[in-house]
């Protein structure tokens, strides 16, 4: 195959990738994930069912909305003092 054709095809593929990336960034603007900091907790309910027999588990997690309080949860209890 001719080197000129390889270079042209490579540049075309690169251009398509850059353009599609720019379009994806533009379309996702304003739809960022996460939540705004604040007071209180997010409550996450997790339900697991093991199948036919009615067995399973149900758990509730409380995640603080305040970033500083959230970070404190990762410090071991012995070192919080």
pLDDT on residue 1: 67
Domain ranges within the chain, ordered by starting residue = 1-33, 41-79
CA 62 to chain centre: 18
Q: Which of 20-24, 52-56, 63-67, 71-75 has the highest average model confidence (pLDDT)?
A: 20-24
- Name the nearest CA neighbour of 35 among 67, 61, 62: 67
Answer whether 0.75 is exceeded by the pTM: no
Q: 6 by DSSP, 3-state: which?
A: helix
- Name the nearest CA neighbour of 65 among 44, 28, 36: 36
pLDDT on residue 13: 97
54 pLDDT exceeds 80? no
Q: Which two tokens mark 64?
A: 């603080």
Confidence category of residue 50, pLDDT binned at 50, 70, 90? confident
42 φ, ψ to 5°? Answer: -85, 140
């Amino acid at each position: 195959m001719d080197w000129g054709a390889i270079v042209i095809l490579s540049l075309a593929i690169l251009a398509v990738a850059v353009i599609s990336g720019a379009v994806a960034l533009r379309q996702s603007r304003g739809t960022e994930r996460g939540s705004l900091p604040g007071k209180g907790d997010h409550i996450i309910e997790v339900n697991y069912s093991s199948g036919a027999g009615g067995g399973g588990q149900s758990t509730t997690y409380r995640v603080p909305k305040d970033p500083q309080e959230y970070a404190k949860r990762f410090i071991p209890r012995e070192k919080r003092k």
